[in-house]
Amino acid sequence: MRDRVIVAIDTPDVREAVRLAEALKGRASHLKVGLTLFVAEGPSAVGRLRGMGFDVFVDLKLHDIPHQVAGATRELTRLGASMLTIHAAGGRAMVAAAVRAAASAAEEFGVPRPQILAVTVLTSIDAAALDDMGVHRTPLEQVALLARLARSEGADGVVCSPEEVADVRQILGPEGTVVTPGIRPSWAAAGDQLRVATPGSAFASGATYIVVGRPVTDADDPSAAFERLVADD
């Protein structure tokens, strides 16, 4: 299970990011760099964590015109990201552009191609929030629609909440990658995420990887919290 846990490093300070990475070395194999750390420290943060031996999931949720997303995907591929996120709501052309850019950049730079993961509906959004945005579907209906769109354009997988994992697994089949944030072990508070589950429950539903941040990174002893997390069902 530990190789399927991605720890989100969301500090704005690269020194703190390195401290957390050191604490998790030999336990976690995947770290996530999101907007906070990337905006604060830039691409070098990815290199620092990769240099420590971690696979780095760059979670910027790219959402722009296809040309811009292709350019950003090329650069993230060059950095050595193992996975990166785009918003499925950007549409078919945008998803396809990211997929093509990852493949061509991997060949150009002689690096492994990162997995392109399409974000469906954020875990902080519920049915009422979707309705406010003019999306008159349930979260599950919207996730399913976007998962099918992303898969049809070549995305390797999707990001969805634990509540939709089982349905998304049916859509993607056994080979598709399902990354699941909104993970809160039984001993942690849900915080600002509304559609959550325990690690064991998410894996049982069909998640490939789970993403967890604050329950580990805010702990007094991150390494002990990580071990407690992987034992949580």
Distance CA 77, CA 93 (A): 19
Say which amino acid occupies 105: A
Pairing of strands 55-62, 83-87: parallel
Among residues 61, 78, 148, 214, which one is catalytic?
61
Torsion of CA 122, 124, 182, 81, to 10 degrees: 40
61 catalytic per annotation = yes
Residues classed as catalytic? 61
